Structure 1
Amino acid sequence: MPLDTTTTAGDRVISPVARRIRDRAAAQPDAVCLRWEFDGEPVELTYRRTWVGVEAAAEGLRGRGIGPLNKVAVLSPNDPRVVVATIAVLTVGAAWLPVNSRESVDTIAGLLEQFGCDLLVVHPDLRAVATEIAARVPGLGGVVELDQLSSVPADRPAARAGDEADRELAAIFPTGGTTGRPKGVAFTHERLAAIVDAYAQVQAVPGDVYLAAAPLTHVGGRICLSVVASGGAVVILPSFDETAVLAAIDRHRVTTLTVTPTMLYRLLDAPHRDSYDTSSLRALVYGGAPTALSRIREALAVFGPVLEGGYGQTESPMFITRFRADEHLVDGAAAPDVRLRSVGRPTAVSEVRIVDPEGDDLPAGEPGRILVRGAFTMAGYYRDPAATASRTEADGFRSTGDIGFLDADGFLTLVGRETDLIITGGFNVYPAEVETVVAAQPGVRECAVFGLPDQTWGEAVVAVVSAEEGAVVDPGALRRAVRPLLGGVKTPKRIEVVDELPRNDNGKILKRVLVEERQA
């Protein structure tokens, strides 16, 4: 799907995603598009006003020489202006690079240099940070604050030079860096539009009100674009705070919300949780990491039959599988553990295979490499052909890098990462299997399992756990409790209790940090 140059503004480029949003604004100009709060009072923009803001920001980008061959980084905490700026970047056919404002200056500068950004759009509160970043990235063409984006410089520069190979590039999403230096996950305009269209087909419901509390630099940003393109409203919070989230659900009659397991636990543990009306929710979507089965059951009891799970990754966002709300229940009660451990079934826009190392399909119940095919998957890793080739399989499938199995009903259960496999005493141990059993024990809040070098076993299975508030976890007693369930090979040789497990800003546990700390 090439860029469309036939717009009402004349012979100008507009990306497929921006075109969908423009058409939505024309179809429902007076519907609410964006909501937020300022000084405790609700503020909203209709679709008409949102698109006016997009066009003004797009003109400001063009006035700075930005077009289809360029890359624009957006550095900001959650803010409605970020949504407008992002759509504007896509409107002019440029590529969008969302940057987490919580990262260090060194990390951000490294990303901008690594991916060759032409312009940095920054939140006004990060002005000093942006100045420092610009000094470290000589190739950066300029910095503009969100409030100034719609202004057109008096001395309009010529179009910025770029690589013709980037003409179809729509976005670069940095990987989480949980295993080392981030890679740039590249999406063309066609594939970014496929994400938006997949959301409309799989998740969207007319009248949806989506609460954006997770960082817009991650999957929340892609969901916002999809919700707006589908005609829903987006309520934006500056960050995740459990009380603020519950209040926003109550006040704005939020229908859908995405959370990591940690966010779900915080909602469940929030003081005065029951004083808020959350009955408007139709989909409380959790994912991004394993979720304790006890907390899933608790959430079903607290919020009702609205929990949805799923499986996606930066390379294949959101739609590999979906665990529908009704599938969490069997005869009106929480489904059996074996079902709740799953991440659901392939969606209408995805194909999933489980294969052995030779690429042959495996029968139901047997773990293997998870492959996915769909229009919503990445184009590849930006300017990294070797990494792209490592994920490319025959017939258009992509390797997810994960291990899992499909049951007889088509439900997918994740077992672990290919690179996380522990070989102990000649036996294969998948961390996720051990984590599920350990995390289910009384008093255990969360668990991370990995292998460490061992003279006797080659690798020893090690578990690091955090305790629930007020609980005391004894490592020896915990080992004895899980041994009958796991057997001698899979039972951790060592269990450590810590206050908190290290995480990135997307809520994923940083096992790399745990391993490095114990090998230092």
Structure 2
Amino acid sequence: MNNIFERVYQQSVNQPTKVAIVYEKERLTYQALIQQVLILSARFKALGMVKGQRIALFAPNGPEYAVILLAAAKLGLAVVPLPITLKGHALENALKSIPVALTIAWSSVSVQLLKANLVQADNLISLNRKIADELLWEEVLSSELKDDTHWCDVPDFPYILTMTSGSTGSPKPIVLTQDCKINRAFAATVHYYNLTVEDIVLVSTPLYHSLAQRGLLMPLMLGATTVIMTKFNVAKWFEVVEEQQISFLFAVSSQLDMLVNEIHLAKNMASLKCIVSSSAVLASATKAKLIANFDCRLHECYGASEVGVVSDFCLNEHNDKQGSVGKALPFVKIKITNNNNDVLPVGEVGQIFCQSKTEFAGYLKLPEKTKLAYDSEGYFATGDLGYLDEDGFLYYVGRNNDVISSGGINVYPQDIEGVIKMHPDIEDCVAFAFPDTQFGEVIKVVYTTRTDAINEADLRKLCLQELTDYQQPRFLERVDSLAKSSLGKILRQSVKELFSQKMDV
């Protein structure tokens, strides 16, 4: 079965009354879910949507996401999931970079789109409140229109177009096919983590992100149950895990940092079988607290939007490999190369390249950039630095363009940040290159704290104890906050631009 709708539809035939989606107090069975999908599919057809066309989606977390993604899969449409927080030029650039035939949006976005004349009311569905003469989601689902159950055979057609940016900030839409999404769901998740129809999967990150979409669609294709949180909240997370008997979830590292620091809020987490951390390398202190407080399998994965999960590390095993992001998944090949594309020996840092059957289909209408993303052997250039040990375990060092060259010696920010975070009062930090006439670049660290008790002398002492001479930060600056994405991932370039001209000596 190579259509995502087909897989979920089959679940509605096999187990129509099983709960497919839980959202707050709402419980949607497989049968009810498919009925909504068929109504929406009929509406898409009535609006003249045909295979290959694109839909922009600005929606908060909720069952609507599943209905829209499944109706699109059925008809061979592509969905462009975007955050409802987009505004101004960012909103305009997103729609101009990927022209769409239809937009489905939260009312706050609908207002902006109509005012800026970026969409016409005839090609807009508002989710929660009507702004002009556009269709309202509630009206669509109450329609008597209903499509048949036939689906398109489009495994290689664009299905999800997710946005990424290069160092210049110019959008590079990543094309993910239904085939790719199915492979990521089963080869990289169901089979790898041994999931079954009995599992209950939690989605607590924004659904416009690829990994959250997997957390939504994977259980539905499997015949399990997915539980959707509106947004992440520590107390609510513990409550949902207990009440809904969650067994599996993907979490971003920033969520796990918050959870372990509020572990006293947890009551009964016995249902949890497996937690997989993604998006950024876990701090060593967080890993230790996870192992101490969660009686389940704990995994940390490394990957990229273009290729999916590349490697996985089980925190409960291999105590001698702590700091690694694990071994390549069974269908992935990894190599480490220097600037001349020579494969480096064990232990030497270079760029991480990989081959995987969960790779993307390319950057939309950017064939040259797609070609440049691969080497002559068909390995994808991640832009990340790392090394392999003698047992094939991968160690992530940082982004290629984040390396600090101080006096001709390469310094990796993650090494410095890992030490700074050892201090119990440090909340988060970023190390980056600061211009210097003598050494070319020196190291500056900006950091946020949990309390007011910390002083710079403590951090200097910690750095002297743990870091070599060329790794010592020249400048340390305490700041109120660090720019972060909606997943809680630090926006390093934004932080660097903001604080590279500010200096507390």
Using the size of structure 1 for normalisation, the TM-score is 0.86
Q: CA deviation at 1:290?
A: 2.5
Does 1:322 find its partner at 2:312? yes
Identity of aligned residues (%): 25
Q: Call closer, same or farther: CA 1:271–1:190 in 2, change over 3 Å.
A: closer
**Equivalent position SS for 1:496:** strand
**Alpha-carbon displacement from aligned partner over 1:109-158 (angstroms, at most 9, x marks no partner):** 32112111111112xxx32421321343546671113334447799xxxx
- Aligned partner of 2:437 in structure 1 is 455
How far apart, CA to CA, are the structure 1 residues paired with 2:228 and 2:178?
Answer: 25
**Alpha-carbon displacement from aligned partner over 1:384-438 (angstroms, at most 9, x marks no partner):** 2332233112333211110111112222110011111111111111212222222
Does 1:209 find its partner at 2:209? no
Does 1:290 find its partner at 2:281? yes
How far apart, CA to CA, are the structure 2 residues paired with 1:456 and 1:345?
Answer: 41
Q: Call closer, same or farther: CA 1:139–1:121 in 2, change over 3 Å.
A: closer
Alignment counterpart, residue 441 of structure 1, candidates 423, 431, 454: 423
- Aligned partner of 2:240 in structure 1 is 248
- Aligned partner of 2:12 in structure 1 is 25
What amino acid is the match of 1:316?
A: V
Q: CA deviation at 1:472?
A: 2.8
What RMSD over aligned residues (CA atoms) do the two structures have, in Å?
A: 2.4
**Alpha-carbon displacement from aligned partner over 1:74-99 (angstroms, at most 9, x marks no partner):** 11111111111111112110111111
Check the 8 A contact 1:404/1:415 in 2, yes or no: yes
Residue pairs, 1:418-437, within 5 angstroms = 418-437=400-419
Check the 8 A contact 1:63/1:152 in 2, yes or no: no
Q: Call closer, same or farther: CA 1:489–1:75 in 2, change over 3 Å.
A: same
- Aligned partner of 1:185 in structure 2 is 174
What amino acid is the match of 1:143?
A: L
Q: CA deviation at 1:204?
A: 4.8
Q: What count of residue pairs does the alignment treat as equivalent?
A: 479
Does 1:129 find its partner at 2:119? no
Q: CA deviation at 1:277?
A: 0.8
Residue pairs, 1:86-485, within 5 angstroms = 86-122=69-105, 126-136=106-116, 138=118, 142-145=123-126, 146-150=137-141, 168-175=157-164, 180-198=169-187, 199-206=189-196, 207-218=198-209, 219-270=211-262, 272-274=264-266, 276-317=267-308, 319-324=309-314, 327-329=315-317, 335-336=319-320, 339-467=321-449, 469-470=450-451, 472-485=453-466
How far apart, CA to CA, are the structure 1 residues paired with 2:410 and 2:226?
Answer: 45
Check the 8 A contact 2:203/2:229 in 1, yes or no: yes
Q: CA deviation at 1:27?
A: 2.7
Check the 8 A contact 2:276/2:298 in 1, yes or no: yes
**Equivalent position SS for 2:486:** coil
Alignment counterpart, residue 509 of structure 1, candidates 486, 490, 499: 490
Alignment counterpart, residue 470 of structure 2, candidates 463, 480, 489: 489
Using the size of structure 2 for normalisation, the TM-score is 0.89
Q: Call closer, same or farther: CA 1:148–1:383 in 2, change over 3 Å.
A: farther
Check the 8 A contact 2:354/2:379 in 1, yes or no: yes
Q: Which moved more, 1:440-449 or 1:403-412?
A: 440-449
What amino acid is the match of 2:414?
A: A
How far apart, CA to CA, are the structure 1 residues paired with 2:400 and 2:301?
Answer: 19
**Equivalent position SS for 2:497:** helix
Check the 8 A contact 1:174/1:183 in 2, yes or no: yes
Alignment counterpart, residue 26 of structure 2, candidates 40, 43, 60: 43
Q: Call closer, same or farther: CA 1:342–1:166 in 2, change over 3 Å.
A: closer
**Equivalent position SS for 2:36:** helix
What amino acid is the match of 2:163?
A: P
How far apart, CA to CA, are the structure 1 residues paired with 2:500 and 2:387?
Answer: 32
Check the 8 A contact 1:286/1:310 in 2, yes or no: yes
Q: Which moved more, 1:251-260 or 1:194-203?
A: 194-203
**Equivalent position SS for 1:395:** coil
